[in-house]
Amino acid sequence: MSFRTLVLCDDAWHPGEMVRHGLDELGAGDFAFEFLEDGKACSPAHLAGFPVVMLAKANMVSSGDKHPWLTLESQSVFQDYVRRGNSLMVIHSGVSRYDGLPLVNHLVGGAFLRHPPLCLVNIEPKPGHALTAGVSPFAMLDEHYFVLLDAVDADVFLHSRSEHGLQPAGWTRQEGDGRVCVLTPGHNVEVWRHPSFQALLLNSLRWAAKLN
């Protein structure tokens, strides 16, 4: 059985094609990815057909339209979706430009603050954690995301370190009957395609799909 997974992607700095290429190999296994690049086309009815949604786009309609697709009026869409027992995965730009939406920030567990210019980022998995099984530390050029992680129930399983400091880079939390998993690395396709990041993605997808 392949789990239908909706992937919301494509913004001005992170093209949808990069995310598609980053998920190429994982789509041959337990997960069947369907991609949606136009944020305006996303609706509660659309989400309802998927047990897992991956958010890999900043809060803008698409790469060609920088207007926000999620607003104060529509921000509850993900919270309602997760509380019904579904799962949300948030990757890199999925935390960007949502800082003015309190329901989204609560669900994710925090908010994006800033990132320095592209730099060498060391990714440090927590030893012995289920979501880091088979994951080796690695370092690549990436956007080092700085975040305000204020959820007291966040289970941090990954850190990122650069010359600019140390940051939480991967965590999970529960919301109602559903699950949320966040990974902040991933600006470049080289990061997405790195074997350790592929392992992180697969572990996170399996956790989100409640396969482990």
Q: 98-118 burial, b if ≥16 CB within 10 A, otherwise e?
A: bbebebbbbbbbbbbeebeee
Which domain does 25 fall in, by range?
3-208
Over residues 186-192, the mean pLDDT reads 97
User: What band does 97 get if pLDDT is binned at 50, 70 and 90?
Assistant: very high
- pTM here? 0.96
User: What's the confidence (pLDDT) of residue 25?
Assistant: 87
Report the DSSP beta bridge partners of residue 181. 89, 172
d(CA 9, CA 21): 12
What percentage of the chain reaches a pLDDT higher than 70?
100
Beta carbons of 116 and 110 less than 8 angstroms apart: no
Mean pLDDT of 16-25: 95
pLDDT average, residue stretch 111-135: 97
Residue 91 vs residues 45, 73, 116: alpha-carbon distances, Å = 22, 23, 18
pLDDT at 162 over 80: yes
What's the whole-number average pLDDT of the chain? 95
Domains held by the chain: number: 1
Nearest to 164 by CA among 185, 143, 183: 143
Please answer whether residues 115 and 160 qualify as being in contact, where contact means their C-beta atoms are separated by less than 8 angstroms. Answer: no
The pLDDT value given to residue 32: 93
The CATH code of the domain that includes 118 is 3.40.50.880
Structure confidence at residue 1 (pLDDT) = 63
The contacts of residue 74 (CB under 8 Å, 6+ apart) are: none
The stretch 86-113 carries a mean pLDDT of: 96
